[in-house]
Homo-oligomer: A and B are copies of this chain.
């Protein structure tokens, strides 16, 4: 991903392109495994230790607010982040907690009547179950010990 392109994206969103903010954005664009904030913090500083924990969180929040990054729902545990490239859905494994991408397809939107005055920013499909690693080899027996 081009340096200029990232800088442009940031500035178009009214965010200064600081070393630390650039590093977070760049990392997210290169890594599609839905890293947690802690993973991003660690990765960014492994290369060049110049970003504090608070800054990493601040920048992630800024990027989410600007719409450049989205938070992936992964209940209970640490929030995971995703530089929104092409659209996709998510699969969350009940057992190991991994979040995987699923191919995108159009979703019917909620009826306007049921939304009322709410303003929709984003719609995400979450499929839950057992991932390839955790799925049983044989039929049935899904929920045994």
Contacts and interface: CB of A to CB of B under 8 A. Distances in A.
Contacts of A46: none
A126 B126 contact: yes
Interface in A101-115: 102-103, 105-108, 110-111, 114-115
Given A75-B74, A75-B80, A135-B119, A102 B126 contact: no
Given A76-B78, A118-B132, A121-B128, 14 more contacts: A74-B75, A75-B75, A91-B110, A102-B115, A107-B107, A116-B132, A117-B132, A117-B135, A118-B129, A119-B135, A122-B127, A122-B129, A124-B125, A125-B125
Interface of A: 65, 67, 71-76, 78-80, 89, 91-92, 94, 102-103, 105-108, 110-111, 114-132, 135-136, 142-143
